[in-house]
Amino acid sequence: MILGLPKSWRNSQLLTILPRRAGKIPGPMKAQRQLQDQLQSLFARCPDLCGFAVRAEAEELYVSDIGISPRLSAEHYGEIYQDIAQTLAELLEESPDLGEWLRGRTFARTLH
């Protein structure tokens, strides 16, 4: 999904976690901070990224509904997708219990 957001909105470095289910981030404070830090870093590295969702199918997690503005080439879109997937894979490797919490969540920039 491509979102058509104004250019001025792409400069935000903050992240909002929009839960689809109630519940806190599992695990110790270290895992919570690591999740927040990694996702903020992801949005900082990808200024065109507006947001994305994590979906589950057959016990596997997938990145979906990637919002990018302005519209980018397929190659650049693929690079952002790979960055999201790698960031989530690293988080799950260090804290496997985050997998259940990530399922069905949407992550987006905070716009002020």
pLDDT computed for residue 69 by the predictor: 87
pLDDT computed for residue 29 by the predictor: 66
Pairing of strands 49-57, 15-18: unpaired
Q: Which residue has the tokens 């695990």?
A: 27
pLDDT computed for residue 54 by the predictor: 93
pLDDT computed for residue 85 by the predictor: 93
The structural domains of the chain, with segments of one domain joined by +, span 7-109
Over the chain (112 residues), what is each successive 10-residue block's mean pLDDT?
34 37 54 85 93 89 90 88 93 86 88 66
Closest CA to 66 of 51, 48, 47: 51
Task: Judge whether 80 and 66 are in contact, CB under 8 Å.
Answer: yes
pLDDT computed for residue 27 by the predictor: 57
Query: Per the confidence metrics, is the pTM higher than 0.75?
Result: no
